[in-house]
A and B are shown apart, each in its own frame.
Chain A
Amino acid sequence: MNIELPPLVALLLFPGGLFILFSSTVYEWADRKLVAQFQNRIGPRLIQPVADVVKLLAKEEIVPDGVNPVLFHALPVVALVGTLTAALYVPMAGLKPSYSFTGDLVVTLYLLSLMTLSMGLAGANTIDRFSLIGATRALTQLFSYEAPFLLALLGPAIIAGSWQIAEVDQFARGHWWIVATQPIGFVVAVVGLMGKLELPPFDSPEAETEIVAGPMTEYSGRGWALFRIGRDIELLVGLTLMASFFLGGIANPIEFLLKTGGLLLVTAGLQSLFCRLRIDQTVGLWWRIGILLAVAQLFLLVFLR
């Protein structure tokens, strides 16, 4: 859909800004609800994620001893800003991206990585032992899935002949669903997205039963709320990007809902199917299987094209 919105509205209200903030909480709810249903639980109410964030924002933020206070306050903001900015370059809600330029795919992917990087740094900033181990694991995981994820998303871009998200989306709409021709890339990208979001079974950076909340252990109140919103938005942006690239583009809001919802169903299913991987198993999976598959597919595309 091509609706021309005033830039300020697009940035602050719709489809950027406020709209993203609220719709991302709905996606968090859907994710939690689906996993709960798969696990034979009831799951949260629709209002729960918003209520959590409001409550956290109202709470006192404790700055622990031994941290750099500037970094401690800045990192959640950086993480949130990164994901919010990334949301402007994807076809959110079926509209064309609010902002677009050549090569914005690469920028978007790096903006999404900012989230994990901020979390890792936030953990390394404290002297908490759980945080430090969590930070090590978060950054280790970042280096494992980032390359395969990037390579997987480059597949559709190479076919479309453009590194601009809007053009790839346009291309995908006019052709067969790319998931049919690049199933490997799709699988790598789905798993990569789950690794990025530290969803089970890739949640060893914040494995509750080992290191409490990993890098986030020392965060409370506002900082933790911002990280949470950032994570929700990353989920939304990631799903949009994947639907747009692999599932035949996003032409209108209904397609957006159906395709991202379908993807969410897949990731929720994967979340409830497996036992948590140890960090060495996660890294092994990516560097032994993920990257090889992604590279193989990339070479195939480059040569066959």
Chain B
Amino acid sequence: MDFLLSADSAGDKLLAMVVAISLFVAVMGILLFAVDRPKNVPSWVVFLAFVGPAGALLVFGLIRPAIITIYQSFFDRTGANFVGFDNFAQLVSTNDLRQVLVNTIIWVLVVPIAATFLGLLYAVVVDRSPVEALAKALIFLPMAISLVGASIIWRFMYEFRADLGDAQQIGLLNQLLVLFGQDPYQFLLNGPWNTFFLIVVFIWVQTGFAMTILSAAIKAIPDDVTEAARLDGVSGTQMFRHITIPGIRPALVVVLTTIAIGTLKVFDIVRTMTGGNFGTSVVANEFYTQAFRQSNAGLGAALATVLFILVVPIVIYNVRQMRLSEEVR
């Protein structure tokens, strides 16, 4: 049964996968069979059989570890000595770590606004065009690409060759710079702008999401309303400001907050593009570095806790907006 814990050939791995799925199906099958067969099983037993497995996993894998992590954030790197708020103080007082916090705030301000703006713009200009489906698919595609893949795509765009004699640029952006008589630029090395060049990657990925949701919202605005406005001689921009924007306001909030939450957790891009070097690290990346590379469990836990604290108000706002609009309904 070795292959179950240490599969190293392709066959063993696939076998382990089949075993895992079969095992899962068998366990669930027996469980459901057990509560279905006998007559008059108490209803709470049936409920437990349905909810229990998921509930147990959530308690084990989300609630419990979250509590442990928050607790650990008050301990030192080994987790043995209580240090109070020292880890958090370190985040604010160390220059490098303060840079991490500042970068995270820049990310979370720029990405949602830029992606939502571009997504809305695109949704409006392609709305009801004959090639709408194709046009949307083009913007949409980056969402299917992993953030690692997206990072490689953009590293290639940013690729730099020193301007020596006849060496040609192979990165498109530097080629354009050279074409316009500028010197090639180290997009990923030179702070503070390198953070913005990383942000571009995530905007590129998230715009499709914003466009999809906002496009659906625009289409849900009743035709009568736009029709009436048009008959009243309302111009295109006025229509946008007074009809479209108010009509899609709740969707805008959902899009902005959802992208903000995703942005806070972005890790793959920073890690793949710069490894968090050159002053580009963010909380989610620094968490990984501290917890699993520097073996500083205390500081890692503190960074994870900060992430948690940053996410909570955005989610609460998001949920409240959803609730509000449901009540009006």
Asked if A and B are interacting partners, one says: no
The interface of chain B, by Cβ under 8 A from chain A, is none
